[in-house]
Amino acid sequence: MIAKIEREALKAKLDRGEKLVLVEALPAKYFRHAHLPGAVNIPPDEIDTLAPRLLPDKNAEIVVYCADGPCRNSEIAAARLVELGYAHVRDYHEGKADWIKAGYPVEKGEEPALSPAAAPGQ
């Protein structure tokens, strides 16, 4: 069972500047529309390919989220990360809709990790 993290606990960690990696487990078009600040985009069907590049530290604290509670993408992605050996994975089960409903900021557009400097093969 993947540990869960609630919105306020996640917000507090981000406000304190704690080191963690946010992973949005939705297709890229939803990520580009809006994502939590600093998140990287790894849909569940791309975990095996993208995680080694975007999540090189298997001991990092990772919080995976998707659209909302009924969306299972974050649960699927988090479970696969654990299977791949990531030690500190949590699921923000309520997801992006909960974050936005609380009035917290989101970013739009591509993720910094996919800038030309970080592109595969560069």
Break the chain into its structural domains and give their ranges. Answer: 3-110
The CA distance from 93 to 119, in Å, is: 29
The CA distance from 60 to 21, in Å, is: 7
- Model-level pTM? 0.89
What pLDDT, in 10s, does the model give residues 7-20?
999 999 999 999 99
Answer whether CATH 3.10.110.10 is correct for domain 3-110: no
| Sheet with 3-4, side-by-side order of all strands | 3-4, 88-92, 61-65, 21-24, 40-41
Please list the ranges in the chain whose pLDDT falls under 50: 113-122
Of 109, 115, 58, the C-alpha closest to 85 is 58
